[in-house]
Structure 1
Amino acid sequence: MTQAHRILVTQPIHAEVHARLARLGEVDVYPGPGALTRDELAARLRHATALMGFMTDRVDDALLAEAPHLRVVSAALKGYDSYDAAACARRGIHFASVPDLLTAPTAELGIGLAIALGRHVLAGDARVREGRFAGWRPQFYGRGLAGSQVAVIGLGNLGRALCERLRPFGCQLVGVDPVAPPTSGVVRVGLDAALASADFVLIAAPLTPDTIGLIGAAQIAASRPGTLWVNVGRGSVVDEAAMLAGLERGHVGGYAADVFAFEDWSLADRPREIAPALRQCPRTVFTPHLGSAVREVRLAIEHAAAEAIERVLVPG
């Protein structure tokens, strides 16, 4: 097989996936830490035939113009708003993403975050580790999922997976999504109605022009006092400053998130960090984008991205 291809991979990958790509040609893997800058990415793409990219990358038309040999962009992720798929199509570059493999592990994490937030798991853990636990006491009373009203914002693959996992808890499920098909066991309502009655709000919406800042100051103010919010969709769906303000005045019961606005590379005005005051707020539970961080899942995602490259580069 020809060794003429040059494949750029922008994050470290499993050895077996590297070996699979090496059968197609030279593999240029950026070892990290961190992410390639825009200029570094452009320089490495100049002679590349294929790109396996990750959430840390932004691929737009201007970048593609500097990659004259590029034939395929394979994004090892689900939400590809930071990849200009239309620009790829205009330039005759095949674009692929991995939409389904991330759904189940992300939904699992969403349920875990909801339980951790509602049951004060972090505060209880700290009490034990600090040596201040002297046996059972009437403390850390929180809210469980059983019997709670839960609003799921976004009823795509992730939202439906969350609903499936919430049903055994005996939750009353309401869903908000203007375009998704009906979901069994979920009452469809408008956003205002969902927020007015929910004990938990689980956000599973993708990042689109219509969902940026969907949950802002007005929506938070309209929610039931003490509502517990969980975001496993995209960071910029939530106005983090407004959420912090709601926490500080005591209206928001708690906020858990696996995704943050600073990660949304497609938005030029995105913040460059999580606000320190939000990080330090005690009524929060945060994880560093662990939605798909299951070994078997990440390996499967890399293999799916490699397969998309093979389909383009291997003749016949």
Structure 2
Amino acid sequence: MALPTVLMPGPMNRSVPAGLDGRFEVIRLWETDDPDAVLAERAKDIVAVANAGTPIDGAFLDRLPALQLIANFGVGYDKIDANAAADRGVVVTNTPGVLDDEVADTALGLLLMTVRQLPQAERFLRAGHWQERSYPLTPTTLRGRTMGVVGLGRIGEAIAHRAEAFGISVAYHNRHRKDVAYRYYPTLLELATAVDILTIVVPGGDETKHLVNAEVLAALGPDGILINVARGSVVDEAALVDALRNKTILGAGLDVFEHEPEVHPGLLEVDNAVLLPHVGSASVPTRDAMGGLVVANLVSWFDHGVPVTPVPESADLVRRGDG
């Protein structure tokens, strides 16, 4: 019996092709001389896509009439039009859970680096200045601070637990109140006014684009720290640059950017921003686990007709069993 055909538009973590080998026929589209011709020729055979960052919209979906499942590598899937997929009976999955701790660790690392100016201190040492004078005292500390978590999902809760271990009080803003001990604020502006650390963990997409704007940054205030380990599009980067330059807020720690890998030049110019190249989940064990979940979703779907981790937009398809 022929193996199910999976389209892989671009390179993926080693664990994905290794896990698919022998169970699926894999079309490595980026290795072909004429991707459009390959898609046209094999369109009726392709029943799944293993995807890592390639935009997938309705037009792309319409080219694959036999498609049943898109297995996304990552928790965020804003580059996939999941509603368009659901309209066409295509299930979308992602990789939640396996990267929570790694991303939460990165968020706390960014916070420590930003508050205590650790990157600046290291640059000071490497430049040889310690031979001449001591590094200046940092103007602030973690002590007595309150963190506001925007998006108290799995990763948000993991960040909150770590913050508590550092003696930081926690509050949050969600679309809906959760059964947790943390104080809830019904609007982002109210949360920003009440805290001095604002940590962003919401998905990207049109609904959250520029959710953190100039008004929110002003509410965070001159002792405020912004941490973003979610999606760069959630923050208005031009407003953030102005806030950092004008000391509207104290600093920012960013692992994601609005047009990555391009970084707003203003962010590169200011010294009160710590910038990382989207490495939140970028450890070998975590990326292998993410790849393993991509494979598990594909195997479970074609063996049992049920994916392991469907996204919310696919819930009705999974319940009906007619993906």
TM-score, normalised to structure 1, is 0.85
The 1:103/1:43 distance shift into structure 2, 3 A limit, reads farther
For the pair 1:248 / 2:242, whether they are aligned, the reply is: no
Aligned match for 1:188, one of 177, 180, 184: 184
Q: Given the alignment of the two structures, is residue 275 of structure 1 paired with residue 272 of structure 2, yes or no?
A: no
Pairing 1:104–2:101 present: yes
Counterpart position of 1:83: 80
**CA, structure 1 residues 42+61, in 2 after alignment: closer, same or farther (shift >3 Å)?**
farther
- 8 Å CA contact 1:215–1:238 kept in 2: the answer is yes
Cα RMSD after superposing both structures: 2.7
- Alignment: residue pair count: 301
Task: Evaluate the alpha carbon distance shift between residue 85 and residue 127 of structure 1 in structure 2; reply closer, same or farther with a 3 A threshold.
Answer: same
Find the residue that maps to 2:78 and give its secondary structure.
coil
Task: Determine whether 1:291 maps to 2:287.
Answer: no
- Please give the secondary structure, in 2, of the residue aligned with 1:173: strand
Structure 2 residue aligned with 1:35: none
With the length of structure 2 as denominator, give the TM-score of the two structures: 0.83
Tell whether 2:22 aligns with 1:23: yes
Alignment of 1:119-134 (within 5 A): 119-134=116-131
User: Residue in 2 aligned with 1:145?
Assistant: 142
By how many angstroms is 1:168 displaced? 1.2
- Per mean C-alpha deviation after superposition, the further-off stretch among 112-121 and 203-212 is 203-212
Cα distance, 1:89 vs structure 2: 2.8
Q: Which secondary structure state, in structure 1, belongs to the residue aligned with residue 178 of structure 2? A: coil
**8 Å Cα contact 2:196-2:220 kept in structure 1:** no
Structure with a larger share of its residues in helix: 2
Aligned partner of 1:162 among 159, 167, 175: 159
Distance 2:37 2:178 in 1: 42
Q: Distance in 1 between matches of 2:7 and 2:205?
A: 30
Alpha-carbon distance between aligned partners in 1 of 2:226 and 2:29, rounded to the nearest angstrom = 36
Preserved contact between residue 256 and residue 286 of structure 1 (Cα < 8 Å): yes
Q: Give the whole-Å Cα distance in 2 for the aligned partners of 1:103 and 1:236.
A: 20
Question: Per-residue displacement from partner, 1:235-266 (whole Å, max 9, x unpaired)?
Answer: 11110000001111122211111111115xxx
Distance of 1:282 and 1:27 partners within structure 2: 46
Alignment of 1:234 onto 2:223? no
Contact conserved, 2:48 with 2:69, CA < 8 A, in 1?
yes
1:193 CA drift (Å): 3.3
Contact 1:2 1:24 in 2 (8 A): no
- Cα deviations by residue, 1:181-200 (Å, 9 ceiling, x for unpaired): 1322x111243333224222
Identity %: 27
Whole-angstrom distance in 1 between the partners of 2:179 and 2:106: 24
**Letter aligned with residue 10 of structure 1:** G
**Partners in 2 of 1:5 and 1:211 — Cα distance?**
35
Task: Say if 1:42 and 1:228 are closer, same or farther in 2 by CA, change over 3 A.
Answer: farther
Give how far 1:39 is off: 6.2
Contact 1:101-1:300 at 8 Å conserved across structures = yes
Give unpaired runs (5+ residues) of structure 2: 306-323
| Structure 2 SS opposite 1:247 | helix
Q: 1:117 aligns with which of 104, 107, 114?
A: 114
Change (3 A) 1:9 1:167: same
Segments of 5+ residues of structure 1 without an aligned counterpart are 33-37, 264-271
